[in-house]
Amino acid sequence: MVEAALPYLTEHFGNPSSTHHYGRRPREAVARARQQVAALIGARPEEIVFTSGGSESDTLAIRGIKADHVITQPTEHPAILEACQGLDTTLLPSTSSAVSTRPTSTRRPPAGRRWC
Ligand SMILES: Cc1ncc(COP(=O)(O)O)c(C=O)c1O
């Protein structure tokens, strides 16, 4: 991945969303990567959304679908638990062997409070 990304960090580092000349090569690379990822998982290219990292992906997934209820675990990454703040959320118990289907709590945390 480093090898594939290097030209776009050192030489063709224009903004792929820009219409100017410097964005052309990066834009083509992003389109190619989108097609490759889509083919890999059997999706359509327009279904692929690239984000800047894990926390942004968590927030987009949890907040982006406007779910009525979220089910997660207290051991999840803090970015996931923070994205659940203010949402109707069930925290399943964490076990060493399997995911339980019996929720231990259903609560809506006050805004600004952390779950763990
Ligand atoms: C589920 C999850 N969310 C968020 C992150 C944090 O990612 P980032 O530092 O790219 O925001 C991680 C990191 O491992 C993660 O596993």
Residue pLDDT, tens place only, 77-108: 999 999 999 999 999 987 765 454 445 555 55
Encode 6-18: b = buried (16+ Cβ within 10 Å), e = exposed. eebeeebebebee
Domain ranges for the chain, please list them.
2-47, 67-107
Pocket-testing residue among 58, 60, 62, 70, ligand 1, by greatest number of atoms within 8 A of Cβ: 58
Is the pTM here over 0.75, yes or no? no
Q: Determine the atom of ligand 1 nearest the C-alpha atom of 53.
A: 10
pLDDT digit string (tens) for 12-44? 999 999 989 999 999 999 999 999 999 999 999
CB-based contacts of 17, cutoff 8 Å, min separation 6: 23, 27
52 lines ligand 1 (CB under 6 A): no
